[in-house]
Structure 1
Amino acid sequence: MQSSDAPVLIVGGSLVGLSAAVFLAHHGVRCTLVERHPGTSIHPRAVGYYPRTAELLRQVGVEDAALREAAGFEAHRTRAGVTSLAGEVLFSKEELEGDDELGDLTPSRLLLLPQDRLEPLLRERAVALGADLRFGTELVSFAEDPDGVTAVLADDDGTDTFRSDWLLACDGPRSTVREALKVPRHGRGVLSRHVSIAFGADLRPVLGDRRYSVVHVKNPQVMGILVHDDTLTGGTLIVGYRPEDGESLDDFTDARCAELVSAAIGSPDVAVTIRSRFPWDMAEQVAEGFVQGRVLLAGDAAHVVPPTGGYGANTGIADAHNLAWKLALVVDGTAGTGLLETYDAERRPVAAYTAEQGSLQLAVRSGSATAEQQAAAADALTVTMGQTYRSAAVVPEPGAEAPAAPADPRTLGGEAGTRAPYVLLSRDGAPVSTLDLFGNGFVLLTGERGGPWLTAAAGAAAELRVRITARRVVPGTGGGAGTLADPEDRWAGSYGVRPDGAVLVRPDGIVAWRSLGADPAGAETEALTGVLRTVLARG
């Protein structure tokens, strides 16, 4: 095994680790990922990604490939309860109702794609961007010092040391990194234990023209959740087991698993083969701190979210996205290390809220929710797109009240700490989404009378040596070079500023700061430079 150093060592090559590698490489950060398994997941696991997650994949050139791979799932939008696939339908509900009506909110949409088919796309993109991915390589141990982390890695050729500035733990709910650091976790703990059974079966005779996203099965032989793939020749059945009643994983032999799957299908004429089993715990747990010196926690290593609602993978990918640009600026010396502290300040409250929402959805769907729990359960768009960040990397305008956290994204209007709103503009006569302006450095948008802010952006960029792309947004269809046209005159209202105002958007598409109008003292350069110094932890 040949030793090689990089600024960031990622431990864990599943969905979140691979996403982190993509996002870091996108920002030009040399990173090495190690994963003890020989390849990407062989089990479907997570299957649903909300529009905000698709937006993040869009930034790094993965969304189109994911959409192509997910084309066969386009009609799989119905969540249903059944006695079996061949039996009675007890209830039926469309997933993310109104998804086709989100055109004013996002250019992306709900993406249904099993994890074992998304991970190879992330792996391919990470390699294309220059990430060093080492499957079949395990973290044996690590030691932190004030300047970085020394890790011992092992593969088939033996062991060697690896030196990095930062270690990013994406190694799952039983994270060996988190356990080594003895980071406590809070929450309701393990709620139940489950086994996911991947199977092969010709489901076409029993499904007919029906296509389900998720099926809740309940009959005397089996109670569980079934997801079928787009080929209709296989799927996954999730069932629970109770160690306290003497049940164990050893009970799930191939024969027993086949019996359970057959009962869920409900037709003795359908032959079943068992492909794999994957044990996991339904839990609500959040680590006490996501930043531990030079070690950072993300995904299930940082938080475990009950899968009801499908928030876990989405939250982990958002962790990696939030952290990547911050690591990039710290690694290249543009930002102080204090910027990384904002990762914990921003993502840990989101994780706690999301884990709680997963539990609430579990209670609602099981029919055990109280009236108070039903009222507290938020819709999926609020949970995944309506977060409000409060940290040193966000500078609200004086006297501003932060939106309720989280809030319905339809009610947000460019407030500091929220997702920058989607508005369709025009550049050189071609349509361009505001969301497609973000993802590479800071972006400053100003209205038609915002010339001083454009000057301020150039001055701040030169003084702080930070990348800022500044653009004027002009109502109508005209405008010169470097100007964005606003044919429907929506931008100023959507971002809550006047024609002489400005909005500073972070590389992750979150509003860092805005000025509703011109600087009262006429000192736009000083104002913007001061904001950036704060955001970048430059003092």
Structure 2
Amino acid sequence: MSHQTDILIVGAGPAGLLAAIIATQLGLSFEIIEARDGLHPEPSAHVLKTHSMEVYRRIGIADAIFAQSTPEELQRCIVWCESLTGLCYGRLDLSGKKGLSPRFTRISPVYSANVPQNILEPLLKARLVERHGSDPVRFGHRLVNFSQDDEGVSARVQCGETTCELRARYIIGADGAGSSVRRSAGIAMDGPPALAHFLAIHIRSDAMPILARHPGVVFFVRAPGLSGFFIVHQPVGSQVFMLRIDPEIDPPEGFDEAQCREIVDRVIGCAHDYSITSVGNWVMSAQIARHYRAGRALLVGDAGHRFPPTGGLGLNTGVEDVENLMWKLNAVIRGKAGIDLLDSYEQECRPIAIRNTEQSVRNNDRMQIIETALGGDRGDTVLAETIGELRGDEAHPQFATLHAAVENQIDHFAFLELEMAARLTNGAFVPPARTVPTPVLPLEGFQPSFQPGNHVPHFWLSPGRAALDALRFDAFTLFVPAETEAAWRAAAGAIDGDYLDLDIIALDGTMRSDQASVADYWGQDPFAVLVRPDGRIGWIEPPGLADRAAALEEALGHIAGRASGPVPKERVA
């Protein structure tokens, strides 16, 4: 059966839309279907980590996202309180750790942002339409199931009362936690399906008067009979309170608007004008797909992993999934790499999801020390007594315990290792044959270097043009010392194998970021650095290299999942 398209993307959320944008840039044909009738109506995810913003810079929407982001001064605090305007148990001051600050400018051309998902998705979709030339998203189209053979997948798709079949080389499951692609592929999830249950009460209001006391995005609210967190997605616009519930005692469908309004009134703690826009329920889980690939089916985003929200890692991990996957699919589809390259997608990305799941669970568990300090773990009576003692007595010794417990949460909300692209320990890269300098001490766990498996460090090639900006999704990039540029160009021209394009960029050791120069990353012996289309370092020149062409071709072949030379016909996908 002939292929209708290269890729069928199921799901038009943040991961699916990003996959479609990159597919467009790569010149791959695709269909993108979405079971919903439109984009996500509620804010949901809102934290965009620095590395996600690097990817968004590469597709040309970073500035549009920053224009919609919560102002830095309103992201300053994370607050633990009885209510938004009541007794404050403690607050984590993130001054200097959000927005355009030296903390970020020394390691990236961008920085983190706070933009709700229902604002992000239209920005992604607008970019997709602009790049594609028309709107390719088929809303109201639900994947029923799919089958696959040696040449592609056949998907049965329902639209209203009609069902059609779509044929593609590959299918990407970007269809969220309840993924129909994952289910149809028979991929199981590992981990607890339910750590906690929440009632989500979405409101619209002008929250600026509330934020005057504690400018912040997240408020953890704890009082007798009340436990949850209030998220300010937009200071003037959408906010949500996530109320922790026991569904066996208080099923979410049992909450009417009057009860929800009573809850929100308690959370805010003063007279405040707002409207309830929707009420839903959400289950916190910590699960990872046992496999990210089943033949020609691949999972990205929430289809492959479900995290607790503590850390804001879910959407961002999905961005890293798509960035890692799309160049590999392009190389395989075009016969520039063996199909074995796709094995490295799971090999590289699943450990990142495991790390992020574990970190999210640790963040969630660590907040228990605040609950213990309040006495909430011993019941509402003890909690009420503690609150009564604290109210009106700023010198109460229990505040010192609470403040120490709050300060202990800093890694949850500001930790650069989780802001940046994760380090790979295994996958489609060549282990180094030289000692790689690490000129910068670890910054909150993050240590940039030219180590293969790392993302290429940030430095400026020229004013306004970062190393990141030189990368292409459809090409390798070889950064070389300026004095060896001619030799490397000759070597690249001597390669016989059929690989993705190779861009060669000469580096001057004085090129630098606010943190370090290229010379610092080189050390005493400048060397060439081969960067994959996703920004990962794939290979570095070994010392005393005699045959540049042979070494470069061997490195490209290793990364591409094949020996040097053309891809055997039976392995072209």
Query: 2:468 corresponds to which letter in structure 1?
Result: L
Alignment of 1:459-538 (within 5 A): 459-460=494-495, 463-475=497-509, 490-495=517-522, 498-499=525-526, 501-519=527-545, 522-538=546-562
Residues 432, 363 of structure 1: CA spacing in aligned structure 2 closer, same or farther, 3 A cutoff?
Answer: same
Query: Using the alignment, how far apart are the partners of 2:210 and 2:534 within structure 1?
Result: 45
Measure, in 2, the Cα distance between the counterparts of 1:392 and 1:319. 14
Specify the code of the residue in structure 2 equivalent to 1:510. R
Alpha-carbon separation, structure 1, partners of 2:154 and 2:274? 48
Partner of 2:144 in structure 1? 140
Q: Structure 2 counterpart of 1:138, which letter?
A: R
Structure 2 CA distance, aligned partners of 1:87 and 1:151?
Answer: 54
Query: How far apart, in 2, do the equivalents of 1:495 and 1:24 lie?
Result: 34
- CA, structure 1 residues 122+337, in 2 after alignment: closer, same or farther (shift >3 Å)? same
How many Å separate the matches in 1 of 2:409 and 2:113?
A: 27
Are 2:422 and 1:387 aligned? yes
Of stretches 394-403 and 284-293 in structure 1, the one that deviates more from structure 2 is: 394-403
Give the conservation status (yes or no) of the 8 Å contact 1:186–1:287.
yes
Aligned pair in 2 of structure 1 residues 271, 419: CA closer, same or farther (>3 Å)? Answer: same
Report 1:23-42 matches (<5 A): 23-42=22-41
Q: 1:42 Cα deviation (Å)? A: 0.5
State the match for 2:52 in structure 1: 53
Partner of 2:249: 246
- Asked if 1:225 is matched to 2:224, the reply is no
Note the C-alpha offset of 1:94.
3.3
Task: Answer yes or no: is the 8 Å Cα contact 1:386–1:407 preserved in 2.
Answer: no
Provide the rounded CA distance (Å) in 2 between the counterparts of 1:527 and 1:69.
Answer: 46
Matched-pair contact (CA < 8 Å) for 1:386–1:409: no
Contact 2:366-2:409 at 8 Å conserved across structures: no
Partner residue, 2:470 = 437
Query: Which letter maps to 1:260?
Result: I
* Equivalent residue number for residue 481 of structure 1: none
- Partner in structure 2 of residue 83 of structure 1: 82
Deviation at 1:518, TM superposition (A): 4.8
CA distance in 1, matches of 2:213, 2:245: 33
| Contact 1:96-1:110 within 8 A present in 2 as well | no
Structure 1 pair 79–299 and aligned structure 2 pair: CA distance change class (3 A)? same
Q: By how many angstroms is 1:530 displaced?
A: 0.7
Task: Name 2:327's counterpart in structure 1.
Answer: 325
Paired position in structure 1 for 2:97: 98
Relative to the length of structure 1, the TM-score reads 0.89
Change (3 A) 1:96 1:402: farther
Question: Contact 1:172–1:301 (CA<8 Å) still a contact in 2?
Answer: yes
CA distance in 2, matches of 1:467, 1:434: 17
- Say whether the 8 Å CA contact 2:42–2:118 is kept in structure 1: yes
Where does 1:357-436 land on structure 2 (aligned, <5 Å)? 357-367=359-369, 380-385=415-420, 387-398=422-433, 410-426=446-462, 430-436=463-469
| Separation in 2, partners of 1:55, 1:311 | 15
Gaps of 5+ in 1: 477-483
Query: Is the contact between residue 447 and residue 498 of structure 1 (CA under 8 Å) also seen in structure 2?
Result: no
Q: Helix, strand or coil for the counterpart of 2:367?
A: helix
The 1:291–1:384 alpha-carbon spacing in structure 2 relative to 1, beyond 3 Å, is farther
Match of 2:263 in 1: 260
Unpaired stretches in structure 2, ≥5 consecutive residues: 373-404, 564-573
- Deviation larger for 359-368 or 165-174: 359-368
Q: Aligned in 2, Cα 1:328/1:230: closer, same or farther, shift over 3 Å?
A: same
In 2, distance between residues paired with 1:336 and 1:95? Answer: 46
| C-alpha contact (below 8 Å) 1:497/1:516 kept by paired residues | no
Counterpart of 2:297 (choices 295, 298, 305) is 295
Root-mean-square deviation (Å): 2.9
Q: Which moved more, 1:82-91 or 1:501-510?
A: 82-91
Aligned residue for 2:525, secondary structure, equals coil
The percentage of aligned residue pairs carrying the same residue is: 28
For 1:20 and 1:408, the matched residues in 2 are separated by: 30
Q: Specify the alignment match of 1:284 in structure 2.
A: 286
Query: Following the alignment from structure 2 to structure 1, what is the Cα–Cα distance between the partners of residues 492 and 547?
Result: 12
Deviation at 1:73, TM superposition (A): 6.2
Shift of 1:386: 5.3
Q: 1:187 aligns with which of 188, 191, 194?
A: 191
More displaced stretch, 186-195 vs 68-77: 68-77
Structure 2 CA distance for partners of 1:108 and 1:431, relative to 1, 3 Å: closer
| Aligned-partner residue type, residue 541 of structure 2 | S
**Hey, what does 2:389 align to over in structure 1?**
none
Kindly state the Cα deviation for residue 12 of structure 1 after the two structures are TM-superposed: 1.2
Compared CA separation, residues 218 and 136, structure 1 to 2 (3 A): same
The superposition leaves residues 286-343 of structure 1 with CA deviations (integer Å, 9 ceiling, x where unpaired) of: 1111011010011111111111011111101111111111111111111111111100
Rate the CA distance shift 1:96–1:128 in 2: closer, same or farther, 3 A: farther
- Secondary structure of 2:172's match? strand
Alignment-mate amino acid for residue 326 of structure 1: K
User: How far apart in 1 are the matches of 2:433 and 2:222?
Assistant: 55
The separation in 2 between residues aligned to 1:290 and 1:407, in whole angstroms, is 31
Matched, 1:458 2:493: yes
TM superposition score normalised by structure 2: 0.84
Say whether residues 1:168 and 2:172 are aligned partners: yes
Relative to structure 1, the CA distance from residue 455 to residue 196 in structure 2 (aligned partners, 3 Å threshold; closer, same or farther) is: farther
Aligned pairs for 1:103-118 (under 5 A) are 103-118=105-120
Give, in angstroms, the shift of residue 436 of structure 1: 1.1
Task: Measure, in 2, the Cα distance between the counterparts of 1:486 and 1:524.
Answer: 29
Structure 1 residue 175, shift from structure 2 partner:
1.4
Tell me the distance in 1 between the aligned counterparts of 2:431 and 2:268: 54
How far off its partner does 1:182 sit? Answer: 2.6
CA distance in 2, matches of 1:375, 1:237: 20
**Rounded Cα–Cα distance in structure 1 between residues aligned with 2:340 and 2:204:** 50
SS where residue 411 of structure 1 aligns? coil
CA contact (8 A) 2:416 2:446 kept: no
Whether the 8 Å contact between 2:32 and 2:138 is mirrored in structure 1 is yes
1:214 and 2:240 aligned: no
The alpha carbon displacement at 1:280 in A equals: 1.9
Match of 1:464, SS?
A: coil
Distance between the aligned counterparts of 1:116 and 1:280, measured in 2?
Answer: 17
TM-aligned CA distance change 1:449 to 1:79, over 3 Å? same
Contact 1:73 1:229 in 2 (8 A): no
3-state SS, counterpart of residue 105 of structure 2? coil
Partner of 1:316: 318
1:347 lines up with 2:355 in the alignment: no
1:442 partner letter: F
Question: Deviations for 1:467-493, whole angstroms, at most 9, x for unmatched residues?
Answer: 1110111245xxxxxxx8999981132
CA 1:534 to 1:376, structure 2 compared with 1: closer, same or farther past 3 Å? Answer: farther
State which drifts further: 139-148 or 95-104: 95-104
**Are the equivalent residues in 2 in contact too, given 1:226–1:238 (CA < 8 A)?**
yes
Taking the aligned partners of 2:165 and 2:524, their CA distance within structure 1 comes to 52
Report the secondary structure of 1:388's partner residue.
coil
Deviations 1:102-135 (A, max 9, x none): 2111111110000000000111112222272111
